[in-house]
């Protein structure tokens, strides 16, 4: 990241009062079966946020939609923490803030809601600091990953499409790929939540070598299947690294995924669960998968047929 004010020779941060930005961030599904902590897909289902800098020392937060009445409305709000962290990393004092959030991404369901909140904060800060600090794509991914812990949700939330994310000694990196037009994602969302921390605690420290080789082969195949050969998606979404270790914490998810896969649908746990992602090859396959889940489920599941988002998070400067 570069200090544009310093580069311009002033070295002084201009007042940000009056600045206003609008941010839009997609939901994401991480892992996609074998690609644990690595692969992620951006989905056309969005949280939206407006952030402005008022001329008074306040922190005002309004939340509409998902999370209204539940999430904190103070400095511990995840979007505010992400804005504060980005300003700190940029070396600029945090100004007063007013936030208005319109949330649609379900919380605690494996659809990247915390990653979306973090990316919303990072992008809002980037917009507020336009002309003061320039952020590279690697800067944005690094700052978001510092808060999220792993890059597989924040990479597609930031950049859209299918992302491969990996970690280097210099920080996280990503490669964005376009998904084959035939891929028709379907997300099935249960009423109950799942804690990512609990899901991660169920995994062993080490895995058998043959299971690691199994996942290396399926992950490589999955990239080819998603960008070029959707007919390989059922085999390409097999996994031995995380889903069966976590199954006891989400038995209905596990049972429905087995039923969907037995019927030929490439179904996987979305992120840490408990939602299910079906990487269908056409809209009629989505209808079949929805009918199967309606017939087999013991509880209510919401079906969200979603397009792939190819743009990633956007920020628009609304006013100066
Ligand atoms: N890769 C992560 C996991 C995604 O499965 O734990 C959820 O944040």
pLDDT attached to residue 8:
52
What does the pLDDT read at residue 283?
84
What are the distances in angstroms from CA 141 to CA 26, 83, 100, 313?
15, 14, 24, 12
**Is the predicted pLDDT of residue 319 greater than 90, yes or no?**
no
Residue 245 near ligand 1, beta carbon < 6 Å: no
pLDDT tens digits, 202-258: 999 999 999 999 999 999 999 999 999 999 999 999 999 999 999 999 999 999 999
Q: Are 80 and 125 in contact (CB under 8 A)?
A: no
Confidence category of residue 320, pLDDT binned at 50, 70, 90: low
Overall average pLDDT of the 70-80 stretch: 96
Please state, in angstroms and rounded to a whole number, the distance separating the CA atoms of residues 89 and 83. 10
For residue range 282-298, what is the model confidence (pLDDT) as tens digits?
888 999 999 999 999 99
Residue 11 is predicted with a pLDDT of 58
Output the pLDDT for position 318. Answer: 87
Centre of ligand 1 from the C-alpha of residue 32, in Å: 10
- Span from the CA of 91 to the centroid of ligand 1 (angstroms): 30
Backbone phi, psi, residue 294, to 5°: -60, -40
- Determine what percent of the chain is predicted with pLDDT higher than 70: 96
Ligand 1 atom, smallest distance to 199 CA: 6
pTM to 2 decimal places: 0.95
- The model's confidence at residue 93, banded by pLDDT at 50, 70 and 90, is very high
pLDDT above 80: residue 5? no
The DSSP code sequence of 129-158 is: TTTTEE--HHHHHHHHHHHHSSSTTHHHHH
Index of the ligand 1 atom closest to the CA of residue 152? 1
Task: Determine whether the shortest distance from the Cβ of 253 to ligand 1 is under 6 A.
Answer: no
The overall average pLDDT reported for the chain is 95
**Tell me, what's the pLDDT at 3?**
79
| 115 CA: nearest ligand 1 atom | 8
Is pLDDT above 70 for 90?
yes
Q: List domains and CATH numbers for the chain.
A: 18-175+309-317 (3.30.230.10), 184-305 (3.30.70.890)
- The reply to whether 246 sits in an annotated binding site is no
d(CA 29, CA 32): 7
């Amino acid at each position: 990241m570069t200090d544009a004010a310093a580069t311009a020779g002033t070295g002084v941060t201009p007042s940000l009062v009056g600045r206003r930005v609008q941010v839009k961030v997609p939901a994401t599904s991480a892992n996609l079966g074998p690609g644990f902590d690595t692969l992620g897909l951006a989905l056309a289902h969005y949280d939206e946020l407006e952030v402005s800098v008022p001329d008074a020392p306040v922190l005002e937060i309004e939340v509409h939609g998902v999370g209204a009445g539940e999430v904190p409305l103070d400095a511990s709000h995840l979007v505010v923490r992400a804005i504060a962290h980005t300003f700190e990393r940029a070396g600029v004092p945090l100004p007063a803030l007013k936030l208005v959030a319109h949330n649609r991404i379900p919380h605690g369901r494996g659809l990247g809601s915390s990653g979306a909140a973090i990316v919303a904060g990072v992008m809002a800060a980037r917009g507020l600091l336009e002309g003061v600090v320039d952020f590279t794509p690697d800067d944005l991914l690094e700052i978001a990953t510092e808060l999220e812990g792993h890059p597989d949700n924040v990479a597609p939330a930031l950049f859209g499409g299918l992302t491969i994310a990996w970690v280097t000694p210099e920080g996280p990196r990503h490669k964005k790929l376009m998904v084959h037009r035939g891929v028709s994602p379907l997300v099935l969302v249960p009423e109950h939540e799942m804690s990512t921390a609990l899901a991660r605690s169920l995994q062993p420290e080490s895995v058998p070598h043959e299971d690691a080789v199994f996942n290396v082969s399926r992950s490589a195949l999955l990239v080819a299947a998603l960008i070029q050969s959707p007919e390989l998606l059922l085999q390409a979404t097999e996994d031995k690294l995380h889903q069966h270790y976590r199954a006891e914490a989400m038995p209905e998810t596990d049972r429905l995924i087995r039923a969907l896969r037995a019927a030929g649908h490439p179904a996987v746990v979305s992120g840490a669960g408990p939602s299910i992602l079906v990487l269908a090859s056409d809209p009629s396959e989505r209808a079949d998968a929805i009918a199967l889940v309606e017939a087999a489920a013991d509880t209510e599941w919401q079906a969200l047929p979603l397009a792939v988002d190819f743009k990633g998070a956007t920020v628009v400067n609304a006013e100066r």
